[in-house]
Every structure is written in C-alpha cells, then in structure tokens.
Amino acid sequence: MNVLVTGGAGFIGRWVVKKLLDGKHRVWVIDDFSNGSEENIAEFLQNDDFRGLVVAGVEDSKAVNELFYKNKFDVCIHAAAQINVQESIDFPQKSFDSNILGTFNVLEAARKTNCKVVVIGTCMVYDLSSGTPISEKHEFKALSPYAASKIAAEAMAEAYFHSFGLPVVILRPFNTFGPFQKSNMEGGVVSIFVQRKLNGETIEIFGSGNQTRDLLFVEDCAEFIVEAAFSEKAVGQVLNAGTGKDISINDLAFLIVKDKSRVRHVKHHHPQAEINKLVCDYSKAKKVLGWKPKTKLEEGLAKTEQWLKQQKVKK
Ligand SMILES: NC(=O)c1ccc[n+]([C@@H]2O[C@H](COP(=O)([O-])OP(=O)(O)OC[C@H]3O[C@@H](n4cnc5c(N)ncnc54)[C@H](O)[C@@H]3O)[C@@H](O)[C@H]2O)c1
C-alpha cells in the first residue's frame, strides 16, 4: 500500500512509519518539524520503501494537494497536530490552523484522490468521568482549544464519511508514552518525569497529583493505528485505545523515582483543562480489530528510561 503519514516525523508518527516500513508498505511523510524532526526518522530515509519527505504544514493546502495529486495514496494516517494544551490556550490560532484547517485540507485532498483517511484523535476530547472506563460513547467536553480543535477535526472527518462516502476511521489513543517522546512541555508526563530523574532533579507534579492517566506504550499505539488503517471493519468507526488501567500521577512519580522526597507539588498551569480520571474502555478496538495492548507499564517505563539515557550519552 502507498501510505502518507502526516506528522510522521513526530513521536507517534515515527513509530507508525516504522511499523509500515516493517510491513513493506511504501511511505511518505509530511511534517512541518514544529515539534518533530528529521532525526526522528533518520534511520528510515535510506529505506527503498521510504518514498518521500515533504517539510510543510498541513494548513498549506497547495502543498497538501500537490502531494496527494503527485502520488496515489491508498491511505493517509493523519497524525499531524499541534498537541500542547498550554500552547493551545496561549495561541488558539495555532490549534485552529494545524488541527482544524489542516484536517480539512487533508480530507479535501483525500476526497479528490479517493484515499482512505485515518484521523488520529485523542482521549482529551472526553468529558470528566466518574472513574468508570471511558468508551467511545462517553460525552465530549472542549476543556481547551486543543480539545476543541480535535473534536472539530473528528466531526469534519465524520461528515466526509457520511456526505461523500470517504472511507474514514477515527482513533482515540489515550496518553501515549515511550522512546522518541520529548521530555519538555511538548512531550508527555512519563518522559518529563524520567528525564528529571536522570538529571537528578525533583519531579514536579501539577496540582494534587490525584489525576489519573491510562498510559499506552507507543509501540502498542502504533500497532493499533496500523491495524485500524488496513481494517475494512474499522471504516466509519471510532475506536479508543488504552490499557484499561489507570495510575495516579503521584503513583507514577513514585514508581519512577522511588523516593517521595524527590517529588514536589506545584500550582497547576491550566487546572480548568485538566481531566481528573482517564481510563480507557478499549473493548470495541478488541472486538473490531482483535487489538489489545501488550506492554506492561513497568516494561514501557524501562524502555523509555533506556532510550533517554542513550540520548544523554549522545549529547
Ligand atoms: N502523545 C499522546 O499522548 C497522544 C495521545 C492521543 C492522541 N495523540 C495524537 O497523536 C498525534 C501525534 O501526537 P504526538 O504525541 O506524536 O505529537 P508530536 O508533536 O510528536 O507529533 C506531531 C507531529 O506533527 C507535526 N506537526 C504539527 N503541526 C503540524 C502542521 N500544521 N503541519 C505538519 N506537521 C505538523 C509536528 O512537527 C510533529 O512531528 C496528534 O494528532 C495527537 O493529537 C497523542
């Protein structure tokens, strides 16, 4: 298959690219490097099946159209997005341009060239939950411009499925972690905590730390995305992916540093955009795709730590 991965030079995107190349698919990437880098995909550039890298924003309709018209893609895995919640509060225009306009451009180009689209959504679209696992039927709440932009992107994709019969799949991974995730505010909680541990620094927790996350290892996430991309049964469906187990941020910090004196609580930057309890019901993905996560949290943490250590040595 010919597959375009938008945001393919980012954290999840590069693992999706790897999985596709391992499966002998031909891969193209469009990424503006706003939060990804060529370094993330350097190991794939010499692979004969890696067919092209376009450095451009998906909000640039000319670049997106040219790419779709020039190559005959069977599937576009649309992972490009502005992902930082705080940045979306500070600069909502960026969320609008990248996540809403960008998704519209991808859908339009896919419609004109008859290409299936897999939209990578997020669990951050969901409303607060009492603690029961969140299924795809759970209500939405736009707690931040980031969440709002992802809801809008999904809605537009759904409209293209119903209005034009465009084959569309919407995926909502829960918090994903692992090697290649940034360990600054553009990254994720696991990488940030592990990096601070390696630096000998105190781990800072925003707010009470009682908020919980369902942490999905990135290779499981990439497998979920690629399986959904090639599944006929997934077309027109929305699918969650997570582990079905959550951990509080306090417990996560302790699991990483194993020393309470190396953890402190600080004022939350955006308490209004915080979701307190996030645990995934992935039974639909299991039923539709036969997918389930394979990596235990401790195993994923060890792989993340090992990778971050290697990055330190490289510097
Ligand atoms: N990391 C998570 O926990 C998580 C969980 C659920 C969903 N997601 C979703 O998965 C996708 C990938 O997230 P990630 O964690 O890998 O983030 P990331 O920032 O590492 O990856 C996004 C990539 O898209 C690129 N990009 C951003 N704006 C762009 C634009 N306008 N045009 C072209 N490229 C652009 C960035 O440079 C980056 O390489 C996003 O859609 C995100 O919403 C992430």
Using alpha carbons, select from 216, 213, 94 the residue that is nearest to residue 146.
94
Per-residue model confidence (pLDDT) at position 273:
64
Alpha helices in 165-296 (DSSP H): 189-198, 218-229, 249-257, 283-289
Using alpha carbons, select from 118, 117, 135 the residue that is nearest to residue 126.
135
Tokens 């690219």 -> residue: 17
Do 249 and 277 form a contact (C-beta atoms < 8 A)? no
d(C-alpha 153, C-alpha 122), whole Å: 11
Our CA dihedral for 244, 248, 249, 250, rounded to 10 degrees, sits at -150
Q: Which residues of the chain have pLDDT under 50?
A: none
Same domain membership, residue 304 and residue 204: yes
For ligand 1, the distance from its centroid to the CA atom of residue 261, given in whole angstroms, is 34
Per-residue model confidence (pLDDT) at position 276:
81
Is residue 105 in some structural domain? yes
Q: What is the CATH number of the domain that holds 138?
A: 3.40.50.720
According to DSSP, the residues that pair with 172 across neighbouring strands are 240
146 lines ligand 1 (CB under 6 A): no
State the closest ligand 1 atom to the C-alpha of 8, by its place in the atom list counted from 1: 39
d(C-alpha 84, C-alpha 91), whole Å: 10
d(C-alpha 197, C-alpha 142), whole Å: 33
Per-residue model confidence (pLDDT) at position 267:
87
Expressed as residue numbers, the domain containing 95 is 2-177+215-243+280-295
Do 154 and 119 form a contact (C-beta atoms < 8 A)? yes
Tokens 């209004």 -> residue: 272
**Which letter does DSSP use for residue 160 in this model?**
H
Same domain membership, residue 135 and residue 257: no
Indicate yes or no: pTM above 0.75: yes
Structurally, how many domains does the chain consist of?
2
Same domain membership, residue 16 and residue 126: yes
Same domain membership, residue 266 and residue 138: no
Residue nearest to atom 31 of ligand 1 (CA): 98
For ligand 1, the distance from its centroid to the CA atom of residue 258, given in whole angstroms, is 31
Amino acid at site 24: K
54 lines ligand 1 (CB under 6 A): no
Per-residue model confidence (pLDDT) at position 176:
97
Per-residue model confidence (pLDDT) at position 184:
84
Annotated active-site residue in 126, 146, 160, 282: 146
Per-residue model confidence (pLDDT) at position 312:
76
Same domain membership, residue 26 and residue 152: yes
Same domain membership, residue 142 and residue 204: no
Per-residue model confidence (pLDDT) at position 133:
95
Tokens 């350097």 -> residue: 42
Q: Give me 57's structure tokens.
A: 């924003």
DSSP string, 61-129: HHHHHHHHHHS--SEEEE------HHHHHH-HHHHIIIIIIHHHHHHHHHHHHT-EEEEE--GGGBPP-
The answer to whether residue 146 is catalytic is yes
Same domain membership, residue 196 and residue 48: no
Do 125 and 136 form a contact (C-beta atoms < 8 A)? no
The C-alpha angle 67, 71, 72, rounded to 5 degrees, equals 125
